[in-house]
Chain A
Amino acid sequence: MSAQVDAQARQLAREAAHWLTLCDAGELDAERAAALAQWRGRSTAHEALWQKAEALRQRFAAVPAPLAVACLDRPQLDRRKLLGQALALGALAPLAWFGYQQLPMQRWRADLHTATGERRTLQLADGSRLQLNTASAVNLEVGEGLARVQLLEGEIALDSLGPVQVSLPQGLAVATRASFCVRLQAQGCLVSVSQGHVSLQPLRGAPVQLQSGQQALLSSSGVGPTRAFDAQLPGWRQGLLIVDNQPLGDFLRELDRYRPGLLRWDPLLERLAVTGTFQLDDSERILALLAASLPLEVHYRSRYWVSLTPRKKLA
């Protein structure tokens, strides 16, 4: 750039910069203010540059400070490293890095956790199986004849062969030989039993026994009504998202749990109906499938920033 900017423009910018620092530092007394007014009046180029400076300051003033400082004052990239022969570490694993950055502290301190989009399966000492869904965290304590799991965040599934106790913010879920899922949500904790039975013991109110094929919400006010669900239907444990006539908004909110970054959509799309079986491990493909079967378009601002809009009608 320096070669292309002529000396005159550079000189003008330098003078304007000098005046601007005087303004900032509160050193613009009446005499200097008059001198500045005179400087601005020297030519249209002077005045135009001053207008540009004003616009520049307004641009910075218009962004929320804490957010902008965090973003713009981040450590700068080393160009030579980026362009050199070696692969930059950040370039190697953007996704892993992303999950790591978004982890709240709680998830960090947990015994076991998964990043957004990750699932993990673990075999306990007694042969029981513990699965963690996306963005989940648990503390684990396997003692004499009892496995204790504390769910901190996200969702888990258990296939227990012995006694197991899941502690939740709203109470306990206790089982001996059972397969069940527990999902922390804003309103409480949804427990779904697919085999055996599970006892829900809320902090307040009476315990409730759930049978295979039943689910209920455990909240701070007790156990909600028991509802039936299709326990045979595969789900995230098999890496699948299966929906039948689900509103697109609900579908995308669910999909969003598995995708790092931001996914947003036009409210007009909220009520479109989705039916199908989708592979959770390939959310890019899910979006492509949606675009192929519904009247919508997928826009990638970047891999981590996707928006869906209604498809434009052909002119």
Chain B
Amino acid sequence: MPDSAAAPQASLSTLYRDHRSWLESWLRRRLGDSWEAADLAQDTFVRVLAAQHTQTLPSLREPRAYLLTVGKRLLVNHYQRRSLERAYLEALANLPQALAPSPEQRWLLLETLHALDELLDGLPRAVRQAFLWSQLEGIDYSTIGERLGVSERTVKRYMAKAYEHCLLVDL
């Protein structure tokens, strides 16, 4: 058993040594920021390390393709998180003082919003909007249909699609 336990570690350190700086410069070209690129490259390897506990490292014949797949996913997540934070700060700034959450609530709220944001990821804009209006503001289907310029039946279809999507994601 010691052999099989040591093997993936050896291959991971090889992976790290051979491709880290390449991955980092790939990320840097997209982020325009070497600090964040270094962080994301690091995260990518952490993911790969975590993944090999549950599965063997796939296709090490194409290590760069594999790293890119993981890296791209993290990059998109990173952008999404950042755009959410911006929208959040902007929304907070526009909120009347009396309604503004306390600093402690703000952080918790951002975490919740991030989780919901990930949950809805991948849904078409109109489906997402219909679902948000219905869930967050309790707007009825016919009003949503008017807002979106579609029939109530279509709204129902959108909603069913959104529910199905969310129920299939692990909460």
Contacts and interface: CB of A to CB of B under 8 A. Distances in A.
Interface of A: 1, 5, 9-10, 13-14, 16-18, 20-21, 24-26, 49, 52-53, 55-57, 59-74, 76-77, 79, 82-83, 85, 87-88, 90-92, 94, 97-98, 101-102, 104, 261-262, 264, 301-305, 307
B101 A71 contact: no
Contacts of A14: 160, 164
Contacts of B167: 13, 16-17, 49, 52-53, 56
Contact of B120 (A1, A70, A72): A72
B134 A302 contact: no
Contact of B136 (A63, A82, A83, A85): A63
Given A61-B135, A65-B137, A94-B82, 5 more contacts: A24-B140, A25-B156, A57-B135, A71-B91, A104-B93
Residue of A57, A67, A302, A303 contacting most chain B CB atoms (<10 Å) = A67
Contacts of B106: 262
A85 to B, nearest CB: 8
B84 interface: yes
20 contacts: A14-B160, A24-B159, A25-B140, A25-B152, A49-B167, A56-B163, A56-B167, A60-B135, A64-B101, A67-B88, A69-B133, A71-B84, A73-B129, A74-B83, A74-B84, A76-B128, A88-B79, A90-B79, A91-B30, A102-B89
A14 B161 CA distance: 8
A262 B109 CA distance: 14
A67 B112 contact: no
A22 to B, nearest CB: 9
B90 interface: yes
Contacts of B162: 17
B141 interface: yes
B168 A60 contact: no
Main secondary structure of the interface of B (DSSP, over half): helix
Contacts, number: 170
B6 interface: no
Residue of A10, A21, A56, A303 contacting most chain B CB atoms (<10 Å) = A21
Contacts of A63: 109, 112-113, 116, 136
Contacts of B75: 82-83
Interface size class, chain B: 35 or more
A42 to B, nearest CB: 16
B90 A102 contact: yes
Nearest to B88: A71
B117 interface: yes
A261 B110 CA distance: 13
A101 B90 CA distance: 7
B61 interface: no
A90 B164 CA distance: 32
B95 A67 contact: yes
Contacts of B159: 17, 20-21, 24
B32 interface: yes
Given A77-B83, A83-B75, A92-B32, A261 B89 contact: yes
A17 B82 contact: no
A148 B18 CA distance: 63
Contacts of B116: 59-60, 63, 68, 72
A257 to B, nearest CB: 15
Nearest to B72: A83
Interface string B3-39: 0000000000000000000000000011111001000
5 tightest Cβ-Cβ pairs between the two chains A and B = A17-B163, A70-B91, A60-B135, A17-B164, A13-B167
Contacts of A52: 167, 171
Contacts of B87: 70-71, 74
Contact of B163 (A16, A55, A304, A307): A16
